[in-house]
Amino acid sequence: MTGDDRPSMPPVRLPAEAELARDALAAPLLHRAAALARWAGDGVRLTVGGELPADRLAQARDALGLTAARPSDEAAGAEDGSGDEPVTDAWRIAVESGLVTIAPQAGDEEDVATAGEAVKLLTAGGPGDVLDVWRDVWGSALALALVPPLDELVGDLLETAPGDGSGETEAAEAAEAEWDVEEAADFLDAALANLYLLTATDPAVTAGAPVPLPVLAASMVLPDDADGLEPPTDAVLEEVSEVMMRLDTQLRGLEAAGAVEYRPVDEALLLEADEQQVATEELEDEELTRYGMVRFTALGLYGERVRLLEAGVEAPLVGDLAGADAAEVLSAVCGYPEESAQAELEQWLDGRPVAEAARALLSAARGTDVLAPRRRLLCQQGLSVVGPEAEPALREVLFDPELGGLARVWLSERGAQDVPPPDEELVFWLTVDTLAAQLDPEDPAVAPPELGELMAGLVAQHSGFFDKAWRVDHPATAHVLEAMARAHPDRATAKAARKAAYKARSRQS
C-alpha cells in the first residue's frame, strides 16, 4: 500500500550488495568492456570517425580472447561488420560507461582513447562503486537492444527496391528514418516492468522459474481486467505472436549484460510458419519452452528496480519495514503478495523481544475497517514463526472479541494447556473474519476463484450454515455472504447465500 499517488510495484528480495557486485564483475559485457579499457591503457589512436582502426580492432579482439573470423566467414561479415560485433559493442559500452575516456586532439590528429577513471572503481572501489559502473553498462546494453539488425529495419523495402541494387541504400535510409527509437524504448520498458511484476508476484518465478515468452507477451497485450476464462480471439493471438517475436530480438541482446537469462525462440519454429499464433493454454510445458524462456537474474532485478525508482515508481524491498512500528508494517503488508508479506513480517520480528513484538502486532490487528480482517490474518501468520515466549501475549487476548479466535488457534497448535474451547458464535465470527481477509478491499463482494471450493466445503460441513452466518456480528458478514453467492457452484446454495446476505445487510442497517 502506498501513501501517495505514485505507481507502485510489489516488494522484491535482493541479495547483499557484495554478492550483486560479484555478479556484475562476472557479467560478460562488463568483463569485456573492462578488458578493453585495460588494453587501451595509456592510449590508442582512433580513426577520424572516432572508431578503432582495423589493425587495432584485431588486437582488441585478441585482447578479449575472441576467435578471429574464419576465412569462410570473412566475406559474409566484411560488409556488415558482424564478425567484430562483440568487440565493437564492448568498445562502445566501455566508452559510454566511462571505462574508456576519449581525448580529442588538436588539429587534424586522431583522437586518443585511454583507460578511464571507472576502471579503478572495479578494483579499488566498494560494491556500490562496481554496481554504479554496471548500471552504466546495463543502460548501454538496453540502448543497443532497441535497434534491430539492419536487415530487419529494411525488411519489405528491399523487396520493392530496383534489382540493380541501387535502391538498397535508399531503402536502408528510409527504414532508419521510420524507426521510432522512443516507441521501441517504451516497448522494452513495458516488457521489463511486466517481467519485474511477474517476478514479484508469482511464487514460482520468485523462486527462480523462467517466464515463457508467450506469457510475457500476453501480459503486454491482454488488458488487466481480462477474463481468464474467455478464450483469446485470433486477433489477440496474432498480436501476442508479433510481440513475442519482437521481444525475442530485444532479449537476445540483454543476456550478456548479466541481467537476464534467456532461452531464445527455437529457430525451427520460425521456419514452420511465417506467422506463429501462440495459444499458451494449449501448449505442453516442453513445447512452450521452444517459444522462449526468460528470467531476471538477481543483478537484473536490482537494475530494473533502480530504473523503476528513477522513473518515479515505488518499488520497495523486503526488509524496508524492519524499523517500522507494528501498525505501519501490518498496514503495508496488506498489499503485498503472501510470500512477500510473510518474509517482511519475519524480518520485522527478527531481533525484537518476542512477547513485546507479539503484543504490538496483536494490538495493531484490531479494528473494524475493511482491511482489519487482512491485518488479523497476517498477524496470525507472522506469529506462526515465533516461539513459546509469545504465549503470555496470546493468553492476554483469549477473550478479546476480535483476537480471541486467532489466540486459541495459536495456542492449540502448540499444545498449550487450559485453552478454553471456542463457542459457536466465536467459530462463526472467526470464519467470517478469515474469509473477509481474502476479499478485494475495493470490491469486497468479489472472492478469488480459489475460495470457491473452501466456501463450498464450509457449507457442506455445517448444516444450516446460512441461518447462522447472517447473524454474525461482523462488519464484513454481508460482503462474505455475497461473495459466497457469487463463488458457490451450486445455484440453490448461491440463492440461499444471497438471501442470507440480504438479511445480514438489513440487520446491520
Residues 305 and 334 grouped into a single domain: no
CB 317 within 8 A of CB 14: yes
How many domains are there within the chain? 3
Residues 368 and 286 grouped into a single domain: no
The range of the structural domain enclosing residue 456 comes to 443-509
More confident residue, 105 or 315: 315
Residues 371 and 487 grouped into a single domain: no
Residues 298 and 334 grouped into a single domain: no
Of the residues 422, 455, 476, the one at which a domain ends? 422
pTM of the model: 0.82
Q: What are phi and psi of 507, to 5 degrees?
A: -65, -40
**pLDDT-derived band at 159, boundaries 50, 70, 90:** low
Residues 200 and 302 grouped into a single domain: yes
Residues 463 and 508 grouped into a single domain: yes
Q: Please, which residues have CB within 8 angstroms of residue 330's CB and are 6 or more apart in sequence? A: 361, 364, 365, 375, 378, 379
Residue 112 resides in a domain: no
Residue 347 resides in a domain: yes
Residue 505 resides in a domain: yes
Residues 460 and 506 grouped into a single domain: yes
Residue 95 resides in a domain: no
CB 237 within 8 A of CB 278: yes
Q: Is the pLDDT of residue 163 over 70?
A: no
Of the residues 251, 284, 310, the one at which a domain ends? 310
More confident residue, 90 or 165: 90
Q: Are β-strands 44-45 and 100-103 bridged in parallel, bridged antiparallel, or unpaired?
A: unpaired
3-state secondary structure of 204: helix
Residues 210 and 271 grouped into a single domain: yes
Residues 348 and 294 grouped into a single domain: no
Across the strands, what pairs with 112? 45, 103
Residues 305 and 348 grouped into a single domain: no
Residues 357 and 402 grouped into a single domain: yes
Least confident span in 266-270, 328-332, 388-392, 488-492? 266-270
Residues 197 and 296 grouped into a single domain: yes
More confident residue, 69 or 240: 240
C-alpha distances out from residue 117 to 41, 98, 104, Å:
11, 7, 17
Q: How far is Cα 194 from Cα 203, in angstroms, rounded to an integer?
A: 15
Of the residues 281, 310, 339, the one at which a domain ends? 310
CB 34 within 8 A of CB 119: yes
pLDDT at 1: 41
